[in-house]
Structures are given as structure tokens and as C-alpha cells.
């Protein structure tokens, strides 16, 4: 990533390219003073080493908070070691895939770091997946072990066919609130959820083990630390694709550790080193929350408030009632829901230092309302699963805060190169739109068992094509102006039209279907489907009922339109989604 002084004369779009082919990183002049231009990618060998360093430094501090209960870094380490012992006792070894299907509870970081400690690969699973979605991810990853919250065990039962699962670990939300057999608060909560609120559908999973039994058993084992290399896989982080099937982005230990260091470099001097409290409403299975809230704040010895259900704003406000947090990360829709709550608006925000938005575009009215209510600007960035995820970020300077809203996604983080590519493959000039391409140590190894799909997005020189159209100004700040690919972004989650279409096309009364994204003031975009019915009696309600059986909530169309004429197509018969939009 060296920067040469010899710059090619501005021609053919090469105004930011050096004579040796490297990028003249014009954005470096926009960094806050003291921020390193590059990171040391060899600082850590593995996420296990990173975790051990955090524990050694902050052992006595509170690390996570769940349902009003704190877990120290010391207790986290002990539980991680016990669960790692159980995993190894079951014969799970380096490189094996282990699925986690949990909301934001203590169980998530315990299982996460136990898997990484023994060199296995974490497969993050959305707990709200339907059986169809879960079945695909389990079969594709080849996971033989899964940890699942009991609330979702029924879905797992329906998804078992054709998978390689051999071990199922069940847990209830209150299981790890305290050590010991009594755990009165946890047991009362579990009883209420199962018997009073009746939130656990009936299920049968013979041979499943409870996590507390696994921890008790594993505590007797001496954990063997394998030799984990930086290029070994740490995560299979699933993301959609143009094929309509979720693909596993292969994120190595180096990828994720590099991204942590890149973000920490931007926060240099902004956070004090005292115990910082961060609110985590975004699910930890999402790469943004995983990297930023879990991993990065651990390096700061942060105190992490886990929110299991951020959509229950009333309960979230109860959790935060007595919390004076210094950091929060959200997508635009969550910021909007918090700002709509009168109790939230009355809070004392004097301790708030850092509010970060990611996952979807931040809207001007939300940014301006947040600044008015809290006195702080939201720091916006850009990333994608394939980049672990951070690519760009607005420079962080709490002593000289930025305007409430700029519309920019910031500048590339340290050790990252960014260019915009024209449709003909040549590089766009400053101020000229083009497909945003990224090169850096955070770029994934590729898609799991899909070399052809990998080759479509990563070229021979290591440039990842993001599918988003961006423009860069003379100071290196970027703005997203359009989306090249057909992906729909709903509240920060990728939704791919082919998957929606594949599910709806299975309905016997559907002749043709196309899915597109339409603007939405709250979610950024919503899914709209245009259907040519085979049976004129087909109704919107029938379509939505069919979708609920195969799609998780945020993928279900909000708008269903019926047409009598054939959908527009290319000469080879491909539906023209852009024309429908």
C-alpha cells in the first residue's frame, strides 16, 4: 500500500493512480490528525490471540450486559474455555463449521469465542430464518454442530432434512444470567417465556444437549490450542447473490482483525480508555454489529449492552433507563424508532461520544433530528459482508464534530484502496460515477465453494466489485449514487430479487413474477413484487401467506401488484427489473 510520488497525468480516468499501479490515496489528507494511514496486518495471528489480549487487559471489567445482569470479562473467559472444552470433547477440530442461531444474549459471545478458540469456523445464522432458509445455509456450510435458542428449535426441526448436523445445543434466554444451580432470575425468565408468554413452539430434537450441561461437561477438559494461521477461515458469513441463493463469504482471521484495526485507528484519541458503554441493538450475527460492537469495543474494554429484540422499543427504553451510554450503533430505521419515543428524547446524552450508522443509507431528517435531540452527529460509513464489513467511514473527531448530515459515506479507512470503475472496465475520474471497487486486507478470501461467483466480483489484482455506483470528490469523500446490482436493501439487510421470485414462483397460481425495491421513508427500501397470475382469482393475501412459509419477515413483499400482460424482458427472456422499477 505504498504511495508513490510519481502520479500519472489525468487521462483515461487515471487521475488517482500512480506510475507503479498503486493508488494515490488523496483521501489521506482528510484524515483527522494522528490517524495512521496504514495498519500492521501482522499484529495478530488469530482472533483467539486478540480475545486473549483483551481478557488479560480488562479481566476485572464488566464486558457484557443482558437483561440487567453484567458479565465480567473474567467470567466470559471461563465460560468460553468450558464451552471450547466441550466442543473439543465432541471431536470438533480446526476448520469444522459450527452454526450459531442466537439473538443478543450472553450465550452469543460465549459460543463465538469458544469456536474461534479451537480454530473452528463460525457460521452465523439469523434466528428468524424460515426452515427453507436455514436448511440451505446448514447444507451449504456443512455445519455438523449448531447452538440454537429454544424459541427457534421448531424451525430447526423442520430444517434438518439433508443437513449434516450431528450435534444440537439448546439454550434458553436466561440460562447464563448467573453461575450456579440456582440462577433464580434466569429460571424465572425461562419459565415466563415458555409457560406464560408461550413463545416456544413445540419441537422434538432427540439427542440435543442443554448448554448448561455442555458447559459443566466441558469445564473438565483441558483445551488444546491449535496453530491458527492468519489466512485460516474464521467466519462463513452468509450474504445473498444474483443467483438468489445465499453464499458464504469466507472471512479469514486476517480479514476481520484488519478491519478491527482499521476502525480502531479512526477512533484513535476519541475514546478515553475508561470503561465505555456501547448499546448493541443490532443482532451480533450481522457482520456490522459483530465487528464494530462486539470485537472493536472489546479492544477498548467496553461494556456492551445487549438488546435481544430492538423492535420492542418500550422494553429497550426500560433497559436503557438507568444507562448513561457513550456509544451506540444502529441502522437508520432503529435511530428513527428511538427518536419517536418520548422517553428516549428526554434522556441525558452528556456522556454520548459516538453514534455510528451503517447497514443502510442514513436519511437527512433522521440525522438532523438526532443532532437536535442529542447534540451529537451520527458518523456514517459504508461496508459490505465481503469486506468484514467496513470500507469507508466519516472521519471521527468528537472535538470538532461534523455537520448533522453530509450525504457522504466518508473516506476509505487505513490500508484501503478505492476506485470507481466505468461500464467499459476503465477507471473513472474524480467526480465521475462508477462502480465502487475495493482492495485491502479486509476483503474476503472468496465465496465458499463458489469459485466462479468469486471470480465475478474479485479480479486478478484483488479488486472487489461492490455493485454500488459511487462518485469521489477531490478530497477523497465518496457518495453512493445508485446501485448496479438488483439487490434490495431493507433496514440494512440484503434482499435478493431472485430468492423472492423463486419462492413466489412455486405458488401454482403464479405464471410470472418479478421483485424490485421501492423507496421507503423508514426502511430505506421495501420489496415490491409484480405478478402475472395463472389464475385470475389469486389474491395479495394468498401470495403473502405463501411467502411467510418460505421467507423471513424483512423479505416478505410490502406491495403486491398484479398484471394481465407479460412482464418486460430482454431478447433472451430475462425480466427487465430496471424497467419495472
Cα separation, 354 vs 409, whole angstroms: 16
Cα separation, 181 vs 321, whole angstroms: 30
Structural domains present in the chain: 26-40+411-483 (2.30.38.10), 72-228 (3.40.50.980), 488-580 (3.30.300.30)
Beta strands in 184-266 (DSSP E): 209-210, 233-239, 247-252
More confident residue, 545 or 267: 545
Task: Return the HEC string of 292-356.
Answer: HHHHHHHHCCCEEEECCCCCCHHHHHHHHCCCCCCEEEECHHHHHHHHCCHHHHCCCCCCCCEEE
Tens-digit pLDDT profile for residues 121-169: 999 999 999 999 999 999 999 999 999 999 999 999 999 999 999 999 9
φ/ψ bin of 40: left (φ > 0), alpha (ψ from -120 to 50), beta (otherwise)? beta
* In the predicted structure, residue 13 carries a pLDDT above the cut 70: no
Q: Which residues pair with 71 in a beta bridge?
A: 64
Average pLDDT rounded to a whole number, residues 205-209: 98
Tens-digit pLDDT profile for residues 543-578: 999 999 999 999 999 999 999 988 887 544 567 787
Average pLDDT across the chain, whole number: 90
Nearest Cα residue to 567 out of 539, 537, 530 = 530
Cα separation, 44 vs 264, whole angstroms: 14
Average pLDDT rounded to a whole number, residues 356-379: 88
Q: Which residues pair with 490 in a beta bridge?
A: 493
Cα separation, 67 vs 279, whole angstroms: 13
Q: What pLDDT score does 14 carry?
A: 36
pLDDT band at 523 (very low <50, low <70, confident <90, very high): confident
Nearest Cα residue to 581 out of 529, 536, 534, 545 = 529
pLDDT band at 18 (very low <50, low <70, confident <90, very high): low
Report the first-to-last Cα separation within the chain, whole angstroms.
40
Contacts of 203 (CB under 8 A, 6+ apart): 150, 153, 154, 156, 157
Tens-digit pLDDT profile for residues 182-204: 789 999 999 999 999 999 999 99
DSSP three-state, residue 472: strand
Q: What pLDDT score does 15 carry?
A: 45
DSSP three-state, residue 522: coil
Cα separation, 557 vs 517, whole angstroms: 9
More confident residue, 190 or 489: 190
Cα separation, 4 vs 20, whole angstroms: 7
Q: What pLDDT score does 23 carry?
A: 67
More confident residue, 179 or 41: 41
- Please tell me the least confidently modeled range out of 66-70, 250-254, 289-293, 481-485: 481-485
Average pLDDT rounded to a whole number, residues 300-314: 93
Amino acid at each position: 500500500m505504498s504511495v508513490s510520488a510519481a502520479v500519472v497525468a489525468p487521462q483515461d480516468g487515471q487521475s488517482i493512480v500512480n506510475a507503479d499501479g498503486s493508488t494515490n490515496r488523496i483521501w489521506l489528507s482528510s484524515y483527522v490528525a494522528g490517524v495512521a494511514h496504514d495498519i500492521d496486518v501482522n499484529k495478530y495471528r488469530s482472533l483467539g490471540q486478540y480475545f486473549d489480549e483483551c481478557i488479560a487487559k480488562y479481566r476485572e471489567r464488566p464486558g457484557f450486559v443482558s437483561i440487567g445482569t453484567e458479565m465480567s470479562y473474567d467470567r466470559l473467559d471461563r465460560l468460553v474455555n468450558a464451552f471450547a472444552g466441550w466442543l473439543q470433547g465432541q471431536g470438533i477440530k480446526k476448520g469444522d463449521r459450527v452454526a450459531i442461531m442466537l439473538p443478543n444474549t450472553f450465550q452469543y459471545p460465549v459460543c463465538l469465542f469458544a469456536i474461534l478458540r479451537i480454530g473452528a469456523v463460525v457460521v452465523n445464522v439469523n434466528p428468524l430464518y424460515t426452515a427453507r432458509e436455514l436448511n440451505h445455509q446448514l447444507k451449504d456450510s456443512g455445519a455438523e454442530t449448531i447452538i440454537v435458542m429454544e424459541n427457534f428449535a421448531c424451525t430447526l426441526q423442520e430444517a434438518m432434512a439433508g443437513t449434516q448436523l450431528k450435534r444440537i445445543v439448546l439454550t434458553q434466554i436466561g440460562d447464563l444470567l448467573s453461575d450456579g444451580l440456582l440462577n433464580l432470575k434466569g429460571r424465572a425468565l425461562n419459565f415466563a417465556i415458555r409457560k406464560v408468554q408461550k413463545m416456544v413452539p413445540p419441537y422434538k430434537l432427540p439427542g440435543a444437549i442443554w448448554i448448561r450441561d455442555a458447559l459443566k461437561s466441558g469445564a473438565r477438559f483441558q483445551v488444546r490450542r491449535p496453530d491458527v494461521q492468519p489466512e485460516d477461515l474464521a467466519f462463513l458469513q452468509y450474504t445473498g447473490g444474483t443467483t438468489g441463493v445465499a453464499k458464504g463469504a469466507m472471512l479469514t482471521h486476517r480479514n476481520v482483525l484488519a478491519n478491527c484495526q482499521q476502525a480502531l485507528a479512526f477512533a484513535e484519541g476519541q475514546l478515553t480508555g475508561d470503561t465505555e458503554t456501547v448499546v448493541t441493538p443490532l443482532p451480533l450475527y450481522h457482520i456490522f454489529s459483530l465487528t464494530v460492537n462486539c470485537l472493536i469495543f472489546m479492544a477498548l474494554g467496553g461494556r456492551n449492552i445487549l438488546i435481544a429484540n430492538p423492535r420492542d422499543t418500550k422494553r429497550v427504553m426500560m433497559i436503557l433507563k438507568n444507562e448513561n451510554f457513550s456509544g451506540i450503533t444502529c441502522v437508520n430505521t432503529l435511530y428513527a424508532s428511538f427518536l419517536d419515543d418520548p422517553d428516549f428524547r428526554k434522556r441525558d446524552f452528556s456522556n454520548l461520544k459516538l453514534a455510528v450508522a451503517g447497514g443502510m443509507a442514513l436519511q437527512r431528517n433522521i440525522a438532523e433530528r438526532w443532532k437536535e435531540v442529542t447534540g451529537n452527529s451520527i458518523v456514517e460509513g459504508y461496508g459490505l459482508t465481503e469486506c468484514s464489513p467496513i470500507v469507508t467511514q466519516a472521519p471521527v473527531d468528537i472535538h470538532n464534530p461534523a455537520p448533522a448530515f453530509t450525504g457522504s459515506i466518508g473516506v476509505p479507512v487505513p490500508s484501503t484502496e478505492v476506485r470507481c470503475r466505468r461500464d467499459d472496465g476503465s477507471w473513472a475520474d474524480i467526480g465521475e460515477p462508477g462502480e465502487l471497487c475495493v482492495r485491502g486486507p479486509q476483503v474476503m478470501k472468496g465465496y465458499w465453494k463458489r469459485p466462479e461467483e468469486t471470480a465475478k466480483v474479485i479480479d486478478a489484482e484483488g479488486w472487489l466489485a461492490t455493485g454500488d455506483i459511487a462518485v469521489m470528490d477531490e478530497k477523497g469523500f465518496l457518495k453512493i449514487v445508485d446501485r448496479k446490482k438488483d439487490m434490495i436493501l431493507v433496514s440494512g439487510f440484503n434482499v435478493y430479487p431472485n430468492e423472492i421470485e423463486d419462492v413466489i414462483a412455486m405458488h401454482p397460481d403464479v405464471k410470472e413474477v418479478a421483485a424490485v425495491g421501492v423507496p421507503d421513508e423508514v426502511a430505506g427500501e421495501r420489496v415490491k413484487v409484480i405478478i402475472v397470475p395463472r389464475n385470475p382469482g389469486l389474491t395479495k393475501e394468498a401470495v403473502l401467506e405463501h411467502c411467510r412459509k418460505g421467507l423471513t419477515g424483512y423479505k416478505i413483499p410490502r406491495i403486491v401488484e398484479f398484471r394481465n400482460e407479460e412482464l418486460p424482458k430482454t431478447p433472451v427472456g430475462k425480466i427487465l427489473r430496471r424497467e419495472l422499477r
